[in-house]
Structure 1
Amino acid sequence: TPGSVVRTQWDGKEIWLRRSFELEETDLKAPHALIHHDEDAEVYLNGQRVGAWQNYTTHYVMEPLNQNFLRAVRKGKNVLAVHCRQTIGGQYIDVGIVDVVRGQAMPAVAPPEKARTELRPPAVPLVVHDPYFSVWSFDDALYEGWTRHWTGAVHGMAGLIRVDGKPMRFMGRPLDVPPQAKGAAAAKSAPAAKGDSAAKDTPPSKEQPIPDVRQLSCQVLPTRTIYRFQAGPVELSITFLTPALPDEVDVLARPVSYVIFEVQSQDGQPHQVELYFDATGELAVNTPDQPVVWQRQEAAGDPPLQLLRIGTKEQPILQKRGDDLRIDWGYLYLAVPKVQDVATVIGPADRLRKCFTAGQPLPTEDDPRQPRAVQDDWPVLACAFHLGQVGQKRETRWLMLAYDDQYSIQYLEQNLRPWWRRDGLDAPGLLRRAAEQLPKLAQRCEAFDRALMADLEKVGGPGYAPFCALAYRQALGAHKLVQGPDGQLWAFSKECFSNGCIGTVDVIYPAAPIFLLLNNQLHKAALRPVLHYAQSGRWKFPFAPHDLGTYPKANGQVYGGGEKSEENQMPVEESANMLILVAGAAKLDGHAEFAKPYWPLLDQWADYLRQKGLDPENQLCTDDFAGHLAHNVNLSAKAIVALACYAELCRMAGRDTEARSYRQLAEQFVQQWIRMADDGDHYRLAFDRPGTWSQKYNLVWDKIFALRLFPPEVVQKEIAFYKTKLNLFGLPLDNRSLYTKTDWHVWTATLADQQEDFEYLMRPVYEFVHFTLPRVPMTDWYWTHNAGRVGFQARPVIGGVFIRALADPQVWSQWARKKPSP
């Protein structure tokens, strides 16, 4: 084997190696295997497979280890095991564990020659509707760990199948031997671990473990996640369908997902099949020590629906606010058709799961012991499907999961209803309607996914469509659609794991491309709360606000100086953001009517940028994690683009004098910007800092809105320079650090005039998505040298990755022409 240093000879077809080592700390940032293998190799830590590689290498390579490493590693003694198989030719294996830490002096790395088109999801969206009703799988296989809320807290759903009497597990870790710990606290540094001490210290059990099915595939599409499993002689397919159709707002706003099961014999013989599903009370509490109550209901229909619901006894509606929080008011619903082959019950998790695996019928009476804490015998909403003999004809069953929060958002002390409840609809009525529409919605979602994926592939090239599919439900699911005080559709975003703010302007800004592409009504819904607040009299400053409060309470800005002081505000940033965003709404409408009620605000913000925008003072911008920066070149570019957007708004409104004046001002600023920012083969980070550089992602709106402000050679020079600064997993945000932002990276790549340059710059991003750790809903702030997350996860800003579609006028026009429902 080339590059090998042989110390121990082996001549068999395979070899197992094992050694132990001690660790004082387990706070690892980016664990990798330093490995040289010939041929197939597997690495295990404390019994968990943490990496597997096929074929062979000719030298030592650094390979990221999977999520199981972070779960298996422990303080003190650890056991590392290695398995290598050889089929032909030389053979060699050597493995070490390395934690790749931050470094500054990194040479540029050319991206892969081809884009990665099959992406391992950082986390898999299952039931994702809003910041509270948001359930994911953080694992490669659906049965490798408990499903979780985006914060990392367990929101357990369990799935079991019996084939010819043999039980197998397909979701979660029900009846694990030893039991997997469920009570691990959610953490911003890593998801709760399935291998933490509560599980490790459990004594050996005499119970026989339940085998897992074998996962064949996992496909994430915009509105669907589709799993395929081999369950002995049958194949089981599970589709998590969230009908997030942007042109049907009433459907999009429904907090209802479908779980669709399809079973088919694979050996030509009939087999007896039963399915079991449950959802724990964890989905209805902030912490599992909160007491819950439950009941069953029925909804009319043909057939009728059996409804099981669970929620907290206290029902503290909109009493808490914060970032790392789950909902603890309202009710979780499980709904199934009331037919002979479906059984439902509310009861203790282990008892019901053991009944099913033992082939016994589920109890006919719900558990009467309530209220009790979720962690007290883990009450679940459960159902079982008895499919009978399943042959080559595919058998289908389905259920619905829904959440009725009753009131969703508090705005200036007024509690707002979810959009779907605005006409008095209640949960049983909602579920009845959803059940009736399932066949139509399934077809609509399949057609929507197919059309959107095709257009994303067309504009972005290989890898772009699956990348955007991973972002789709995350972006939409970080918003809540409500009926505003004015009766109109309002959308509130949450700054997930950055500070928990609600309606943050510099979150709405990067998230906007997904709405601008798919439905301008949603885009304007996100702007209305900010504009309403800014003109309410509460906001006293001559620039736009940063936020509206802390989710879910939009009772006034909390960031920086709040409503009291100009200290630590983002005046240029937010004022420019709002002008650009309002201009986007007008461009799609073809007129400026949306801006009409807000002209005094827009005039004031434009005047502020006229005075302060060209050479910004020492202040924060959206990349506030980098700290204050004076003379920020990229922020100046945003201000200039915003002034041109304001000029265009004035032109559309017939305000010709202002339109000419501000257009001329923007053009003058461009010439000054070029002169002040020029640094030879690129443009600077700050006007007064030669030898620096940064991504100029804000220039993208000049291209998308066809403003024709900056000469083409400005962008061409920047793109050529960026290509020399790539790391293995992306382009650093600027010269100060190796981290980048996922959304801004895509905006920067979209600046490229040549498709090959866009694809060249994007290939490292797809590598990041595939290898990033820890496994959480996609982060937008990560290290470009090791794909490790710096911070943030599940944020709405990931909607910004759709911006490449806006840069294709034909594709954007095609989607913009679709007639949305009210």
Structure 2
Amino acid sequence: MSQPFDRLPALPLIVNDPYFSVWCAADRLTDAPTTHWAGERKPLTGTAEIDGKSYRFLGAGKAPAMETESLAVTPTSTRSTLTAAGVAVEIRFTTPLLLDRPDILSMPVTYVDIAARSLDGAAHDVKLRFHMSDALCFEQRSFPEDPDERAATVDPGYPCVSRPAMLADSYRRGALNVAFTGRAHQGVVGHSGDHITIDWGYLYLAGEADVSAAEGGLMGEASGTVSAGQTLCLNLYAAYDDVASINYFGRVTPAWYARGGMTVLDAIDTFHARRGELFAACEALDQELMEKAFARGGEDYRLIVCAAYRHVIGAHKLIADENGDMVFLSKENDSNGCIGTVDVSYPSVPLFLLFNPEFVRGMCRPVLKFASLPVWGYDFAPHDVGRYPHATGQVYGLKTRGYNRRMHGLVYPPIYLYPAGADVFELSKQMPVEESANMLLMLAAASRADGDYSLEQKHMPLLDRWVRYLIEFGEDPGEQLCTDDFAGHLAHNINLSAKAMCGVAAYALIRKGLGDEAGCAEYMAKARAMAESWLRRASAGDYTYLTFEKVGWSMKYNLVWDKLFGLGLLDDAFYEKETKSYLARQNEFGLPLDSRADYTKSDWILWTAAMADDETFRALVKPVARYLRKSDTRVAFSDWYFTSTGRYRAFIGRSVQGGLFMPLLMDKWTKEAKA
């Protein structure tokens, strides 16, 4: 089903977590040097010496590029076949981000498999080389914090800092040769920021073939003769040991897989020993997702799903909390670097609800923990729990007190330790309705997926406060921020009001799940009353307004929960009318977010499309796929771009693209409800 050539603005190669993330921002693997998602060069290079002459199949270099014959991106792998001098070379990057296997998913290992074969039937002497630069181990440059400056210089050659002292070595371990490199000075979890790469830990390359600590990095090599019946393979394991991953409220914690003492070498051994099993699991997942996406929205939706899968999961780090429970922390890539941002988790959850709702609870646990601390004295939910990789208390809307969000590379103080009444937050910069409804909806959705309400049971006093806030202030929100904060404050926001009423209904479902039928009836009645008021004041006939002041229009993506949960707050005739009204408002690359500007959010387009009939769905999805195929801004699947030009506005590689899986979740839950 995969096309011979999948064109994306940037191709995912190694995408394990926000730091171990390497992309090729070009149509072909030989057209550009590889980079981190934020643009800093992290060179991977691959060459094939064929009968004494070198050719390049990956990255930048002096050797002539091989001819690309095919390139395919699936949910778990990127594969390309290139040819030169009578030889074909296939390179494949596979990261088993299997949501039903958290241990495997959290292991920072990617398969790199290279194979050469004869095209003309003749014998050829071939030497395959794969090199990983030690630049993956340190931060090389500063990046502008201003989004306009970033947009103007997406692939800049910012001056590098002085090269740090490095260590490197190689050895034999069991069946594998292993090489590693890293900084001589290890400042573990020693910085924080948005456009910043890791500055500690060790890069590993392993395989049965020759592996060595080469100049400036690590090298894997294989040589031999290829002919009509003989191929040459170089099978490698690229891995990164970050030593420790997250400062979680004062506990510096390793990745989930290492919670019991497992090492990165154990992880590599696991990938080697279970190679066949994991490849089979990846291929099964790829086939399942691609077939379902194709059935739902044709080649356009298949491309979107394939482009987003690794991207979404790789914007997170999975750890265990002090109780051994899963904590799944996103980094708010290219939009301030916050960790565990609620309104970034919220759009991302459809992917995780499809496969393993425990990941959604893993997003909620740190927020519930921080909201229960004395420093957070509000009756609404927080925005975040820190700045990556420090989950040490909300930094969004923080009063400066000598520090601010532009402290690139520097670490915020431990906000979680501040006492009650410390007055560290600017109230006007919070998102009260937004985040409170988000939390209730995420928790209710996770429990709807598997029937487990234990996390809500533990935190009902918090949830009670949040639903009361929504009832008091959500029906007609005052001037406050919502997740689309880049557009500024907006009073009487109709879409935000829709979120509030769905949030109240979600709380009712939680009450029902806990066995409180009377409480469910009480709060569902409140949600229905809010919906009646909402429809009366929001309707413009064939569409709904932007605000209750009866101006403009906007995507009403938050209403998707009414359809997803089967609440019946609004009838089918409303949804048919509302979704069809968007078609005339589309531009070449999609439906604008609202009437104020021509930029869009692609995650919200897919939420909106999930409420539509098949014809309208495909019409809304097609321009998003066109963006992927035609955008000339070479960044990892931006969710915020201009619908008139297809150019990136901001936001690179963000986890919110999990929202692109909402149509598949809608299909699954609709079928389950009918069964």
TM over 0.5: yes
Match of 2:317 in 1: 480
Unmatched 5+ residue regions in structure 1? Answer: 1-115, 177-209, 349-378, 818-822
Match of 1:756 in 2: 615
Secondary structure of the 2:623 match is helix
1:783 aligns with 2:650: no
Partners in 1 of 2:516 and 2:373 — Cα distance? 25
Match of 1:227 in 2: 80
Shifted more, 231-240 versus 286-295: the winner is: 286-295
Matches within 5 A, 1:605-616: 605-616=466-477
Matches within 5 A, 1:144-159: 144-159=31-46
1:436 aligns with 2:292: no
**Which of residues 94, 98, 105 in structure 2 aligns to 1:241?**
94
Deviation at 1:655, TM superposition (A): 1.8
1:503 aligns with 2:374: no
Secondary structure of the 1:536 match is coil
Secondary structure of the 1:567 match is helix
Match of 1:677 in 2: 538
8 Å Cα contact 2:437/2:503 also seen in 1: yes
Partners in 1 of 2:210 and 2:454 — Cα distance? 54
Deviation at 1:297, TM superposition (A): 4.4
1:286 aligns with 2:157: no
**Which of residues 210, 220, 238 in structure 2 aligns to 1:343?**
210
Match of 1:704 in 2: 564
Match of 1:206 in 2: none
Matches within 5 A, 1:723-742: 723-742=583-602
Check 1:293–1:509 CA distance in 2 against 1; reply closer, same or farther (3 A cut): same
8 Å Cα contact 1:258/1:401 also seen in 2: yes
Match of 1:307 in 2: 178
Unmatched 5+ residue regions in structure 2? Answer: 141-159, 400-423
| Aligned-pair identity (%) | 40
Deviation at 1:424, TM superposition (A): 0.7
Number of equivalent positions:
628
Match of 1:323 in 2: 194
Secondary structure of the 1:694 match is coil
Shifted more, 558-567 versus 476-485: the winner is: 558-567
| Letter matched to residue 741 of structure 1 | K
Match of 1:20 in 2: none
Deviation at 1:762, TM superposition (A): 1.0
1:124 aligns with 2:6: no
Matches within 5 A, 1:538-577: 538-561=375-398, 563-577=424-438
1:722 aligns with 2:582: yes
Match of 1:45 in 2: none
1:133 aligns with 2:4: no
Deviation at 1:810, TM superposition (A): 6.2
1:160 aligns with 2:160: no
Match of 2:413 in 1: none
8 Å Cα contact 1:119/1:766 also seen in 2: no
| Letter matched to residue 413 of structure 1 | G
Output the aligned Cα RMSD.
1.8
Deviation at 1:396, TM superposition (A): 2.6
**Which of residues 422, 428, 445 in structure 2 aligns to 1:584?**
445
Deviation at 1:561, TM superposition (A): 4.1
8 Å Cα contact 1:131/1:478 also seen in 2: yes
Partners in 1 of 2:275 and 2:11 — Cα distance? 22
CA distances 1:475-511 after superposition (whole Å, capped 9, x unpaired): 0000001121221111100110011110000000001
8 Å Cα contact 1:746/1:803 also seen in 2: yes
Partners in 2 of 1:812 and 1:792 — Cα distance? 34
8 Å Cα contact 1:243/1:445 also seen in 2: yes
Secondary structure of the 1:698 match is helix
**Which of residues 21, 26, 29 in structure 2 aligns to 1:142?**
29
Deviation at 1:398, TM superposition (A): 0.4
Deviation at 1:749, TM superposition (A): 1.0
8 Å Cα contact 1:586/1:594 also seen in 2: no
Matches within 5 A, 1:800-819: 800-809=659-668
Check 1:812–1:272 CA distance in 2 against 1; reply closer, same or farther (3 A cut): farther
1:537 aligns with 2:374: yes
Secondary structure of the 1:400 match is strand
Deviation at 1:533, TM superposition (A): 1.6
8 Å Cα contact 1:460/1:804 also seen in 2: no
1:259 aligns with 2:126: no
Deviation at 1:299, TM superposition (A): 5.6
Match of 2:243 in 1: 406
Shifted more, 304-313 versus 398-407: the winner is: 304-313
8 Å Cα contact 1:117/1:463 also seen in 2: no
Q: Determine which structure has more spread, i.e. the larger CA radius of gyration.
A: 1
Q: With the length of structure 1 as denominator, give the TM-score of the two structures.
A: 0.75
1:447 aligns with 2:288: no
- The structure with the largest helix share of the pair is 2
Deviation at 1:248, TM superposition (A): 1.0
| Letter matched to residue 758 of structure 1 | F
Secondary structure of the 1:461 match is helix
Partners in 1 of 2:554 and 2:4 — Cα distance? 28
Q: With the length of structure 2 as denominator, give the TM-score of the two structures.
A: 0.90
CA distances 1:260-284 after superposition (whole Å, capped 9, x unpaired): 1122111111211110111111100
